[in-house]
Amino acid sequence: MRVVHVDAEVLAHKRSGGHHLVTLVAPGVAELHRPGTFAELTLGGPHSDRLTRHAFWILRANPSGTYGGTVELLVSERGPGTRWLVRAGPGTTVPLTGPLGRPVARPKEPVPGPGVALEVGGAATLPLAARLKERGCVVHVLLGARTEARLHGALDLRRAARTVQVVTGDGSVGRRGELAEVLGGVLDQQAPDVVYAAGPVPLLRTAAAEAEARGAWSQLAYAGPMPCGTGHCQGCLVPVVGEDGIARHARACVDGPVFRGDRVRWDEVGR
């Protein structure tokens, strides 16, 4: 088994600034989870007529919770699905499939050179940074958000990362500006071997280009719509160049969601 489908149950909710931490009892999923994998949820309850499903990073996984294996998601309210999820009371059933996608490729041996991880939000980087540290890697984190309330995990990240730099659009905490503007300077300073990034497509495109310009690898998490999450609907296609040099589409849900930056044809993404 690499993935399971369960009727997960909401165990607890917690507000975290502008986000919600939602804990679900999802037996089997926590055990299989690796950084970079995600869970696909059916939102809206049994009487909803919505047919597309929703992807969320697994922020924390606890295989041995008192109530059975649990997963924790960091949810920001966006539309009808997430509005329902952040209000679903304890005991609410949420069909959940996971973990899905390929885990982030990470060094098998401790590497001498550092890695830089950057993200808007914070849900993808936290588990990744912790795992990289376990492997003996030095990690520098750049975390961005519109405002302080939208920022998550900066404190936890300080335990895993050598440095954590925060950038907010309104300057409410850390430096004022955009991640993309700060990135080049950080890469020049830290000279990382690998750049990891999660966030909107323009940020990923910049991360790919800045990494490539400095001869670093990049591992970029694509988080566009994923209507099924299980490889059937073709609703998540990303234009890539294959190992064979041939241009084609990859399904982000099964071939990603994390891609090597130099393999994606960024100019054609989401057009």
Ligand X SMILES: Cc1cc2nc3c(=O)[nH]c(=O)nc-3n(C[C@H](O)[C@H](O)[C@H](O)COP(=O)(O)OP(=O)(O)OC[C@H]3O[C@@H](n4cnc5c(N)ncnc54)[C@H](O)[C@@H]3O)c2cc1C
For the chain, report the end-to-end CA distance as a whole number of angstroms.
36
Closest-approach residue to ligand X (CB): 79
Confirm or reject binding of residue 238 to ligand FES (CB under 6 A). Answer: no
Where in 167-226 is the site for ligand X (CB under 6 A)? 223-226
Where in 32-51 is the site for another protein (CB under 8 A)? 42, 49-51
User: 34 is in the binding site of which of another protein, ligand X, ligand FES, none (Cβ under 5 to 8 A by kind)?
Assistant: none
Q: What share of the chain is helix, strand, coil (3-state, %, to 5)?
A: 25, 35, 40
Q: Which residues contact 170 (CB under 8 A, 6 or more apart)?
A: 146, 147, 176
Which region among 62-70, 120-128, 194-202, 220-228 touches another protein (by CB under 8 A)?
A: 220-228
Rounded to whole angstroms, how far apart are CA atoms 104 and 131?
10
Confirm or reject binding of residue 1 to another protein (CB under 8 A). Answer: yes
User: 249 is in the binding site of which of ligand FES, another protein, ligand X, none (Cβ under 5 to 8 A by kind)?
Assistant: another protein
Rounded to whole angstroms, how far apart are CA atoms 252 and 226?
8
Per-residue x/- track, 237-266, ligand X (CB under 6 A): --------------------x---------
Which of 98, 96, 86 is CA-nearest to residue 14? 86
Confirm or reject binding of residue 226 to ligand FES (CB under 6 A). Answer: yes
> Residues in contact with ligand FES, total (CB under 6 A)?
13
251, 257, 259, 261: residue in contact with ligand FES (rule CB under 6 A):
251
How many C-beta atoms surround the C-beta of residue 212 within 10 A? 14
8, 30, 55, 207: residue in contact with ligand X (rule CB under 6 A):
55
How many C-beta atoms surround the C-beta of residue 232 within 10 A? 11
15, 176, 214, 232: residue in contact with ligand FES (rule CB under 6 A):
232
Confirm or reject binding of residue 50 to ligand FES (CB under 6 A). Answer: no
> Is the CA virtual torsion 116, 199, 251, 212 positive or negative?
negative
Confirm or reject binding of residue 256 to ligand FES (CB under 6 A). Answer: no
Residues 30 and 3: beta-carbon distance below 8 Å: no
Confirm or reject binding of residue 241 to another protein (CB under 8 A). Answer: no
| Cα dist from 86 to 22, 77, 89, 200, whole Å | 7, 7, 8, 22
Rounded to whole angstroms, how far apart are CA atoms 98 and 33?
8
Choose between 4 and 111: whose C-beta lies nearer to ligand X: 4
Residues 82 and 18: beta-carbon distance below 8 Å: no
Confirm or reject binding of residue 52 to another protein (CB under 8 A). Answer: yes
151, 236, 240, 250: residue in contact with ligand FES (rule CB under 6 A):
236
Instruction: Give the containing element (helix H, strand E) for 237.
Output: strand 237-241
Residues that bind ligand FES (CB under 6 A): 226-229, 231-236, 251-253
Chain contacts with another protein (rule: CB under 8 A): 1-5, 42, 49-53, 95, 97, 100, 225, 227-235, 237, 239, 247-249, 254, 268-271
